[in-house]
Amino acid sequence: MYKAYKYRIYPTSEQEVLLAKSFGCARWFWNYALNLCQETYWNTGKGLSRAYIQGLLPVLKKEYEWLKEAYSQCLQVVALNLSTAYKNFFDKRAMPPKFKAKHSRQSINYPQNVKFDGDYINLPKIGLVFCRRHRDFEGSIKTVTVSRNPDGKHFVSVLIDDAKEQPELVPVDKAIGIDVGLTHFAITSDGSKFGNPKHFVKRQRNLKRKQQKLSRKKKGSQNRKKAKLAVAKVHSKIARCREDFLHKLSRKIVNENQVIAVENLNIKGMVKNHNLAKTISDVGWGMFCTMLEYKSQSEGKQYVEIDRWFPSSKTCHVCLNRVDNLTLDIRAWSCQHCGKHHDRDVNAAKNIRNEALRILALGTSASACEGDVSRPGKTSVLLDAIPVESGSQRCTT
Ligand SMILES: [Zn+2]
């Protein structure tokens, strides 16, 4: 099984310059090749192969001497990533690849030749960089991605093959259904409600103040740079808090249950509702589902997604009687058929759990995960681990 480990690295100022140059070369080559792909597509209706894009490199290196400063394999990976991004796009799995901007997150990928040496990581052409290895890994290194966040922090993401098979399914002792919402982040079928931490709202005033400061700074000035960094730091803090919350909650749920069922949400469609867009992007349901999925898989537990058209709220989980009308403001209701009093969300979560168990009993769990509902942010957690950078699937935080 492949696993990803992310560590923070602390390059010296010289190494930072070298890394910045490598990021720049990779970004420039990506944008150059993407532009070429787009022109070719408009003129001929066809794409460019990976081999063709890689074949451009020797010529380009003669023309642009500075391209030689980057490790050549990192540039070759760019060609691979771009062709994969196009393949995903043509297969309707992703949006078309985008141009990479200098101010956003930067990254390069080493397909091989990276080694750990004590507290240091040895990156070709960069040298030994101090790496805070807060936990160890077992297995062989597949690829290594070095990235720099807009707040100036550097990270390595190491993809490991531990040579183990995916664990066999564990016997089902406890199953849980999870209904997600905005007032409560998650409501489970055993009646627990987890509040929505609203990370963004909490820091909104701070962010606004720093953004206003930034807007008053003169373009190109040193103070503008500083103000920009301050804004990036707030964004980064929000993202880290959200990730921390989601990791802890998903870990707890996966530890306590063997079957985990959630509703397949159309987040993209919901984000189009501008009144709720910020709030919905902030809660991070997509990331939460991704975490539940990979954490379950690595422990032989079952993660099931229920079709989002399944009437989880309107059905009584006791007698399966369905009410026709249940507006969003009704938080609790009584079943006319069996007289049971329901909490709206807990009842929905119980239905989600029961539906998942029904699907698993029928042995068609695969069909529950299918359907052409694309989920933005679905790959966001593992994105660092996956060498493919389509540049489009990352959920904006
Ligand atoms: Zn009933």
Q: Which tens digit of pLDDT belongs to each residue from 124-147? A: 999 999 999 999 998 999 999 999
CA of 342 to the centre of ligand 1 (A): 9
d(CA 51, CA 61): 16
pLDDT average, residue stretch 1-13: 93
Q: In sequence order, what E strands does 282-390 have?
A: 302-306, 332-334, 341-343
Tell me if 253 sits within 8 A of 188, measured CB to CB. Answer: yes
Of the candidates 343, 345, 174, 372, which has an alpha carbon nearest to the alpha carbon of residue 264?
A: 372
Query: Quick one: pLDDT band at residue 386, thresholds 50, 70, 90?
Result: very low
Give the pTM: 0.80
Look at residue 375 in the predicted model and tell me its pLDDT.
Answer: 39
pLDDT average, residue stretch 270-277: 73
Query: Quick one: pLDDT band at residue 148, thresholds 50, 70, 90?
Result: very high
d(CA 30, CA 162): 31
3-state secondary structure of 369: helix
Catalytic-role residue among 263, 293, 355, 384: 263
CA of 263 to the centre of ligand 1 (A): 21
Query: Quick one: pLDDT band at residue 396, thresholds 50, 70, 90?
Result: very low
> Any catalytic annotation for residue 117?
no
Query: Quick one: pLDDT band at residue 268, thresholds 50, 70, 90?
Result: low
Using one digit for the tens of pLDDT, what is the confidence trace for 185-243? 899 999 999 988 888 888 999 999 999 999 999 998 999 999 999 999 999 999 999 99
CA of 350 to the centre of ligand 1 (A): 13
Of the candidates 283, 203, 195, which has an alpha carbon nearest to the alpha carbon of residue 238?
A: 203
C-alpha dihedral, 100 to 75 to 34 to 373, nearest 10° = -70
d(CA 351, CA 188): 11
Domain boundaries, the chain: 2-161, 175-369
CA of 259 to the centre of ligand 1 (A): 25
d(CA 369, CA 337): 32
CA of 302 to the centre of ligand 1 (A): 28
d(CA 147, CA 20): 10
Using one digit for the tens of pLDDT, what is the confidence trace for 39-84? 998 998 887 888 999 999 999 999 999 999 999 999 999 999 999 9
d(CA 359, CA 367): 9
- The percent of residues in the chain predicted with pLDDT above 70, rounded, is 90
Tell me if 262 sits within 8 A of 352, measured CB to CB. Answer: yes
Q: What is the DSSP string of 31-72?
A: HHHHHHHHHHHHHHS----HHHHHHHHHHHHHH-GGGGGS-H
Place of tokens 């190494």: 15
Q: What is the DSSP string of 297-324?
A: HTTT-EEEEE-TTS-TTTB-TTT--B-S
> Any catalytic annotation for residue 345?
yes
**pLDDT exceeds 80 at position 164:** yes
Using one digit for the tens of pLDDT, what is the confidence trace for 335-385? 888 888 999 889 999 999 999 999 888 875 444 444 433 433 333 233 333
Using one digit for the tens of pLDDT, what is the confidence trace for 304-328? 998 877 888 888 998 888 888 878 7
Residues 6+ apart with CB under 8 A from 216: none
CA of 313 to the centre of ligand 1 (A): 12
Structure tokens at 270: 């919901």
Of the candidates 182, 234, 241, which has an alpha carbon nearest to the alpha carbon of residue 211?
A: 234
Residues 6+ apart with CB under 8 A from 211: 231
Using one digit for the tens of pLDDT, what is the confidence trace for 17-43? 999 999 999 999 999 999 999 999 899
Catalytic-role residue among 151, 179, 355, 384: 179
Place of tokens 């990036």: 232
3-state secondary structure of 271: helix
CA of 340 to the centre of ligand 1 (A): 6
Look at residue 267 in the predicted model and tell me its pLDDT.
Answer: 67
Catalytic-role residue among 282, 293, 345, 384: 345
> Any catalytic annotation for residue 179?
yes
Which amino acid belongs to residue 181?
Answer: G
Bigger pLDDT: 266 vs 45: 45
Look at residue 301 in the predicted model and tell me its pLDDT.
Answer: 93
> Beta-carbon neighbour count of residue 191 at 10 Å?
11
Look at residue 364 in the predicted model and tell me its pLDDT.
Answer: 54
pLDDT average, residue stretch 150-157: 94
Which amino acid belongs to residue 46?
Answer: K
CA of 254 to the centre of ligand 1 (A): 30
Using one digit for the tens of pLDDT, what is the confidence trace for 279-295? 777 788 888 999 999 99
